[in-house]
Structure 1
Amino acid sequence: MSLTAEQILALAPDAASAKAGSGQASMSKWSGLGASDKALWGLCQGSGKDPYKAQIELAGPAFKCTCPSRKFPCKHGLGLYLLHARDASAFSDSSLPAWVSDWLGAREQRVEQKAAKAAADGAPTAEEAAAKEKSQRKRQEKREDNVAAGLAILDTWLADLARDGLAGLRSKPAQDWNATAARLVDTQAAGLAARLRRAGMLIYASSSAGWETAVARELGQIALLSQAWRRLARLPAPLQHDVRSAIGFVASTDEALAEPGHSDVWHVCGTHSADDERVSRRACYLYGQQSGRWAMLLQFAAGAQALPPPLLPGSVYQGTLHYYPSAAPLRAAFGADMQLATTAATPQGAVIDVLLAHYSAMLAAQPFLEAQPMLLSEVTPQLADHGWLLRGADGASLALDPRFRHGFHLHALTGGAASAIFGLWDGYSLLPLAVRCADRLYSLDGIDAR
């Protein structure tokens, strides 16, 4: 797997690791460098007597190092990968040392053992399947009762809010708002709680003007979801899945894999990372070269755990994706045949009016859509009186998300020239996540204020 320096640094668990990894990409720090079609390895002299043994499995990529760092990948793994990206000729094409081959063999063995266990478990008996289904149904019914109780509390709270109006909210304590969100979490409606907290951030953690309109939009969506839950049985099946997902019900990967597969060449256009204090989340967005369809793969990490390595912007995969059930499918899971592909033609995107028409169609099908990926072709960042925007050659424009504070950074990358920009459109503004300039793709994930 051949990666650019930018893609390698995107694997770093944090900015400090990326900086430290760059510092390790020096020939003076390494010896015993080697490479094969499967792995990279080398010895890096640290503060101790014995050098650290760093190794990388290229298919993942996956990293291992004998240093005591608890970060993954550590600075030595990043430095080794960066060094290879800059000067592959410094790595000898030799047979794998025992410590590398043993590690690769152990990884392969774990994969085989996992597959063997799955095969040995086999299909459950009819009695076991019936008992499991009955238990799941009882848990589901109990949760649905909890959600209904939480929505009854929410409806009363929203009615009180509508009667009092929004203008005086900033003079009231934020604890009242947070307490309602906490009640929704207690009644297992975490998705609605997250939307309510997001609306609260617009009130209590923002100094921007016009917050009342944005809050009213969020509350309108929350009220619509509450009503949709009460009418769930009358909605089309795909939209039922969207309502349940928005409220906080989690669909399993098996549900997605049971859906028909969609084979294509998939371009990773960008990623978006977020952290709500309990769970870290990263969305990776892919674009189908033949189908023109978007797909989103989600990665999660709980507590202090690090997120898995991202799908790297600019990389290309070939194989089958399975979409989760939805009236406007976006979230997907990799099929068993998905693999890295050789370079393919770079997607060019579309003009603003075409993309807005597509967004309108998606929103009509799925009214709870929070954001739609967009790849805009030949747009120029411009600073207007009301903030930054992207303007197309035809004069059409899109406002940038006011929480994106790096308009000048984006303008500097493009040099003021028309460029292809990827981002998320929420119906009102676009959050830039990547920009392609002079055949180089720059990731913007992590530099926004969210």
Structure 2
Amino acid sequence: MTQQGVRWTADQVLALAPDDASRKAGSRLGTAGPWSESGCDDTGAVWGLCKGSGSRPYQAVIDTSGPAYKCSCPSRKFPCKHAVGLLLLWSADEQAVPAGTAPDWAEQWLKGRRARAAKPEPGSTGAESGPVDPEAARRRAERRADRITAGAAELEQRLADLLRGGIAAAERPGYGLWEEAAARMVDAQAPGLAGLVRELGAIPGSGPGWPTRLLEECALLHLLDRAWLGRADLPEPLAATVRSRVGVPATPQGPAIRDRWQVLAQYDTADAKLTTRRIWLYGRESRRSALVLDFGPAGRPPGVALPVGLTIDADLTPYPGAGRLRAALGERYGTGAAPDGPPPGGTATEAVERYGRALLDDPWLESYPATLSAAIPIPPKDGDDRWQLADAEGELALPVTPGAAARSGLWRLAALSGGAPVTVFGECGHRGFTPLAAWPRGSTETVALT
């Protein structure tokens, strides 16, 4: 098949489903039985009619270059079970979903989608964007900065009061006091500070050793407060990082980087208000890592989803800040290429050293992307519940991040290894290493561990 006609694997398709129920229902529809008039083309379009409970079949069409989905069913999930089922059928059976010409109902949606994609985004520099009053924008930014400054000063006083009263007494007031302080930071338009305060409130009930952990996090929060209050004296890249950590919105700053970006990992985290999706990419020509973030309301997945293991030809525009790992996904060209194998890796010692150097640019960085070229997963031993990744090329063994077993397929990684070294991509930080993807020796296929 041509590069633009590369079909995804079943694992890549199922990783795009919004929840377990959609995965199960989609898997039941991933056979030829309920489908008719299915087809695909070299632009990345896949379409088909799925028999439902009514007299008329559901019309499903997918643009895999997005990916984006359209189905005539009433489901509010994206992708719905019919789209998941159609993609599973497309990935497994070329005869059931052959190459062809899209029918009118599918072509109409595809043309509309591509026409919308060709228009400038709202707020861009295109001619259709409305006039912007720079003076009004400057005054708004100044008012917000003043509110954040007042909130940071108040937070400094609260931290001083906490230390004056003693860390050991921090669990007496309960979580309500922390939530009240977080609400004050929200009022100050500093959502980043509010989130850090809420994390502080959870530490006193986190088990043995919590006073030490609370003191460490208070020190980092104090550092961020002082950095904000003294931001005028910071180098601009570090000042941009401080603004981002405090919660001031930022926009990507070009120029865009076009590359063949390999999708290494994708996973979601959620709280009571927001679902955050993290997508790690690696540029095959630029040899740089990039993090794409997308957000959705609580209980609903974000809109951006990329199949792990695929390589996409796309533009990425970095956000300002030291390190500049975060980037915005821009225009994509084609539908993706076959796997390229793992990115260049190194030893566990080198991964820790890279994280240490990254902390110079961003002292609040919890982890940094790393590829271990020869790691052996070691399951917990008697009396210990911690996994480790032993370095086959050195003497260092990295502990797996606590709680990562709930998100990562550690036993799948162990089975993949069979006691032999494998290449592992993940996040290396002060809590340990979180494995997100792996490659057996000699294989180019990415095995997602999330």
TM more than 0.5: yes
- Please report how far the alpha carbon of residue 221 of structure 1 lies from its aligned counterpart in structure 2 after TM superposition: 0.8
Which amino acid is the alignment partner of residue 389 of structure 1? Q
**From 45, 52, 55, the counterpart of 1:49:** 55
Change (3 A) 1:11 1:155: same
Asked if residue 314 in structure 1 is aligned to residue 309 in structure 2, the reply is yes
SS in 1 for 2:370: strand
Match of 1:235 in 2: 234
Q: For 1:34 and 1:266, how far apart are their aligned partners in 2?
A: 27
Q: For residues 443 and 81 of structure 1, what CA distance do their matches in structure 2 show?
A: 18
Work out the CA distance in 2 between the residues paired with 1:171 and 1:120.
Answer: 56
CA drift at 1:171: 3.9
Instruction: Return the offset for 1:11.
Output: 1.0
Q: How many angstroms apart in 1 are the aligned matches of 2:159 and 2:352?
A: 31
CA–CA separation in structure 2 for the residues paired with 1:61 and 1:322: 19
CA shift in 2, pair 1:162/1:422, >3 Å: same
Which residue type is aligned with residue 284 of structure 2? Q
Question: How many Å apart are 1:338 and its aligned residue?
Answer: 5.7
Q: CA deviation at 1:289?
A: 2.5
Q: Report the Cα distance in structure 2 between the residues aligned to 1:341 and 1:65, rounded to whole angstroms.
A: 23
What amino acid does structure 2 have at the position aligned with 1:231? G
Displacement of 1:59 = 2.1
Give the structure-1-normalised TM-score. 0.89
Q: Which amino acid aligns with 1:213?
A: T
1:358 aligns with: 354
TM-score, normalized by length of structure 2? Answer: 0.89
Match of 1:25 in 2: 30
Q: Cα gap change, 1:51/1:270 in structure 2, threshold over 3 Å: closer, same or farther? A: same
Q: Does 1:109 align with 2:115?
A: yes
How many angstroms apart in 1 are the aligned matches of 2:162 and 2:328? Answer: 40
**Residue 92 of structure 1: how far off its partner (Å):** 3.6
Distance 1:152 1:84 in 2: 57
Structure 1, unmatched stretches of 5+, are 446-450
Root mean square deviation, CA, Å = 2.5
Query: How much has 1:147 moved relative to structure 2?
Result: 0.8
Task: Answer 1 or 2: higher relative contact order, Cα 8 Å, separation at least 6.
Answer: 2
Matched, 1:433 2:436: yes
- More deviation, 428-437/267-276: 428-437
Give matches, 1:161-172, under 5 Å.
161-172=162-173
Percent of aligned pairs sharing the same letter = 37
In structure 1, distance between residues paired with 2:399 and 2:125: 52
**What's the CA shift string for 1:209-263, capped at 9, x where partnerless?**
333333222211100001111211111011100011111101013xx23xx4444
CA distance in 2, matches of 1:18, 1:210: 40
Tell me which residue corresponds to 1:100: 106
Contact 1:318 1:341 in 2 (8 A): yes
Give the partner amino acid of 2:278. A
- After superposition, what is the alpha-carbon deviation per residue over 1:256-315, rounded to whole angstroms, capped at 9, x for unaligned? 23xx44444322111232122222211111122344321111111235553114222211
Q: Following TM superposition, by how much is the alpha carbon of 1:342 offset from its aligned partner in structure 2, in angstroms?
A: 2.9
Inter-partner Cα distance in structure 2 for 1:263 and 1:120: 20
Alignment partners' CA distance in 1, 2:405 and 2:121: 47
Instruction: Give the aligned partner of residue 269 of structure 1.
Output: 264
Q: How does 1:51-66 map to 2 (within 5 A)?
A: 51-66=57-72
Deviates more, 1:269-278 or 1:433-442: 433-442
Please give the per-residue CA displacement for 1:160-208, whole angstroms capped at 9, x wherever unaligned: 211223234334311111111121111111111112222323333x34x
Provide, for residues 107-153 of structure 1, a one-character-per-residue CA deviation record: whole Å limited to 9, x for no partner: 233335558997873687xxx65xx1111111111111111111122
Are 2:262 and 2:310, in contact at CA under 8 Å, matched by a contact in 1? yes
Given that residues 312 and 333 in structure 2 are in contact (C-alpha distance below 8 angstroms), is that contact kept between their aligned partners in structure 1?
A: yes
Q: Give unpaired runs (5+ residues) of structure 2.
A: 1-5
CA separation of 1:115/1:192 partners in 2, compared to 1, >3 Å: closer, same or farther? closer
Partner of 1:448: none
- Residue 216 of structure 2 aligns with an amino acid whose one-letter code is R
Partner of 1:422: 425
How far apart, CA to CA, are the structure 2 residues paired with 1:172 and 1:115? 48
Question: Going by fraction, where is helix more abundant, 1 or 2?
Answer: 1
Which residue type is aligned with residue 211 of structure 1? W
Question: Structure 1 residues 368-377 or 299-308, which shifts more?
Answer: 299-308
* Other structure's SS at 1:89 match: coil
CA distance in 1, matches of 2:123, 2:360: 45
**What corresponds to 2:342 in structure 1?**
346
Match of 2:278 in 1: 283
Letter in 1 for 2:236: A
Q: Is residue 271–residue 284 contact of structure 1 (8 Å, CA) maintained in 2?
A: yes
Q: For 1:7, which of 12, 15, 38 is the aligned residue?
A: 12
Deviation at 1:358, TM superposition (A): 1.6
CA distance in 1, matches of 2:143, 2:386: 48
Aligned amino acid, residue 67 of structure 2: P
- Secondary structure at 1:221 match in 2: helix
What corresponds to 1:199 in structure 2?
200
Name the CA shift for 1:335/1:85 in 2 (closer, same or farther; >3 Å). Answer: closer
